[in-house]
């Protein structure tokens, strides 16, 4: 299995906020945004694996600014690191008021997907090759996030999370 470049997995998605996507303040509902993010991340994952993928987990997401009705949602999804049968995907989301020409951050998130074969069983994921410095940073920090994810999901004990511990001691 040959490594593939991180940049090759990039998915750019643009969505317009319509009335049914909004709450009573006329702002995009968080759940609707997570729906679009899930699709963008799934496409990035599928592109890397040339195989169907399913959502395994979503890391903590904070929503910074509301995105108003008629504004535009920009989503960029790109792989940060692959593990055995899973991969972490970084999402960067911002809103844009096209009329006022004003762009603002909405959130950043990490989704984890598992690659599956036609019977729905996990299958090996090709390795990822980070190139830029930013991709390299995402690649390295992915281990810490994965340990936190496993601890929060009850699949790893805190004392085994060496990467995470180092972080805690350092800061």
Distance CA 164, CA 157 (A): 11
Is residue 99 a contact point for its own copies (CB under 8 A)?
Answer: yes
3-class state of residue 160 by DSSP: helix
SS3 category, 10: coil
Binding string to its own copies for residues 58 to 77, with x set by CB under 8 A, is what? xxxxxx--x--xx-x-----
Exposure on the CB side of residue 2, measured as CA atoms within 13 A = 3
Return the residues of window 127-156 that contact its own copies according to CB under 8 A. 148-149, 152-153
Q: Is 120 in the site for its own copies (CB under 8 A)?
A: yes
User: Looking at the DSSP assignment, which residues form a beta bridge with residue 81?
Assistant: 88
Contact present, 18 and 142 (Cβ < 8 Å): no
Number of residues that bind its own copies (CB under 8 A): 63
Q: Which listed residue (2, 3, 6, 54) binds its own copies by CB under 8 A? A: 54
Stretch that binds its own copies, among 16-24, 82-90, 121-129, 134-142 (CB under 8 A): 16-24
Burial of 74 (0-12, 13-18, 19+ CB in 10 A): middle
The residue ranges that bind its own copies (CB under 8 A) are 11-16, 18-20, 22-25, 27, 29-32, 34-40, 42-43, 46-47, 50-52, 54-63, 66, 69-70, 72, 98-101, 111, 116, 120, 148-149, 152-153, 157-159, 167-168, 171
């Amino acid at each position: 299995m040959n490594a593939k470049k991180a940049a090759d997995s990039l998915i750019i998605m643009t969505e317009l906020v319509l009335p049914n996507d909004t709450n009573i303040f006329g702002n995009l509902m968080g759940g609707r945004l997570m729906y679009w993010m899930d699709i963008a991340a799934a496409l990035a994952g599928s592109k890397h694996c040339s195989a169907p993928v399913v959502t395994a987990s979503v890391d903590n997401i904070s929503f910074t600014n509301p995105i108003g009705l008629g504004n535009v949602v920009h989503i960029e999804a790109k792989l940060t690191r692959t593990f055995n049968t899973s991969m972490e995907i970084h999402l960067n989301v911002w809103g844009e008021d096209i009329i006022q020409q004003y762009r603002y951050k909405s959130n950043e998130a990490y989704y984890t997907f598992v690659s599956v074969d036609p019977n729905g069983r996990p299958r090996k994921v090709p390795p990822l090759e980070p190139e830029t410095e930013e991709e390299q940073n995402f690649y390295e920090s992915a281990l810490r996030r994965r340990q936190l994810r496993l601890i929060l999901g009850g699949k790893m004990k805190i004392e085994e999370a060496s990467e995470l511990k180092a972080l805690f001691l350092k800061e």
